[in-house]
Amino acid sequence: IRPGGSVESDKLPSDVRKRAMDAIDSSGRRVTIGDVASKAGLKLNEAQKALQALAADTNGFLEVSDEGDVLYVFPKDYRSKLAGKSFWIKAEPLLEKGKMAAEYVVRVSFGTALIASIVIVYTTIIAIASSRESDDRGRRGRSYGSGFNFYLNPADLFWYWDPYYYRRRRVREGGMNFIESVFSVVFGDGDPNQGIEEERWKLIGQYIASNGGVVTAEELAPYLDLETGEKTDDDSYILPVLLRFDGQPEVDEEGNILYRFPSLQRTAAPQRSGRKEYVGRRWADFVGDVEKFFNEKKWQFSKTSASERALVIGLGGLNLFGVIFLGTMLK
């Protein structure tokens, strides 16, 4: 770092920096602002600031393409150079692991307390009942002590003590095991739509770029929040896209409204030969590797079956009954 200088990349939001770096890598470390904005789903000003900061910190340089576009070029080892300059970026993986470990400790502590409570409560009940029986003062204890049988499959402990429980869910044909069901019912299986807005803007940016930077409002409708079958006389729903990617409306010779995104037309990738006709044809005909619509997954709190939920609820009820009964015995 030059005297009096600072690491510019540290000033960027963490998610913006990571998404920009992923876009740079996927483009071969030779990109335009439009390339990063479309592939990462970032606003143009966010992509520009990220590229400028990363280039300043990693000895990246500017280059002019044959079409006259400004390209940002990064060395192969730009990630290691950035990590060598920034303590914060170097420490981020450790902080993420620490966060995962903290979540793991909370999860294990809850499960341990639940299982330990059942074992301790019913062990105490059996011990008290046995003591009364030996002294001929507790015949009632027989009916409670002889009917209890708690079994925990030792193989479940390997699942139970897995610190990557939420990150690496193992899929089994027979469904979840007992320990998995407990945590799924209590904590849920997580939101399947985490990062959904990021994915939405990535798809929109990639679709616009794949169509040469010119689209109609109807083409982008499958990626936006419109009710199925909704009819509208205006294209106001496309305004957030225009603001994010600096688009502007145009009218063609036939009176159709097109939306042009000049920044997304500038790319480091080889230019296509010829020009596509967009109006009067189905938008899906032009889509290659880009998803044809934006699909939001249904959020189901727990993926356990009815029998598994009944088993977990029964376990909680068993623990509650044991605590109440033990309290009665101790009076």
Tell me what pLDDT residue 288 has. Answer: 47
Helices 33-40 and 44-58, axial angle in degrees (round to 10): 120
Tell me what pLDDT residue 293 has. Answer: 60
CATH number, span 8-88? 1.10.10.10
- Name the residue with tokens 């499959």: 153
CA 81 to chain centre: 28
CB count within 10 Å of CB 329 equals: 16
Tell me what pLDDT residue 3 has. Answer: 42
Domain ranges of the chain: 8-88, 89-189+301-330
Tell me what pLDDT residue 47 has. Answer: 94
What is the secondary structure of 186-223 as a DSSP string? HH-S--TTTTHHHHHHHHHHHHHHHTTTEE-HHHHGGG
Tell me what pLDDT residue 253 has. Answer: 85
Amino acid at 327: G
Tell me what pLDDT residue 138 has. Answer: 44
List, edge to edge, every strand of the sheet that includes 257-260.
214-215, 257-260, 248-251
Tell me what pLDDT residue 294 has. Answer: 66
For each of the chain's 331 residues, which pLDDT tens digit applies? Answer: 444 457 888 888 989 999 999 999 999 999 999 999 999 999 999 999 999 999 999 999 999 988 888 999 999 999 999 988 888 888 888 888 888 888 777 666 766 777 788 889 889 888 888 887 776 544 444 444 444 444 445 445 444 445 444 444 444 444 555 666 777 777 777 777 777 888 889 889 989 998 889 999 888 888 887 765 555 567 788 899 999 999 999 998 888 889 999 999 888 876 544 334 444 334 344 444 555 666 777 777 777 778 878 877 888 888 888 889 888 888 7
Tell me what pLDDT residue 273 has. Answer: 40
CB crowding 194-204: b at 16 or more within 10 Å, else e = eeeeebbbbbb
CA distances from 314 to 1, 178, 311 (A): 62, 12, 5
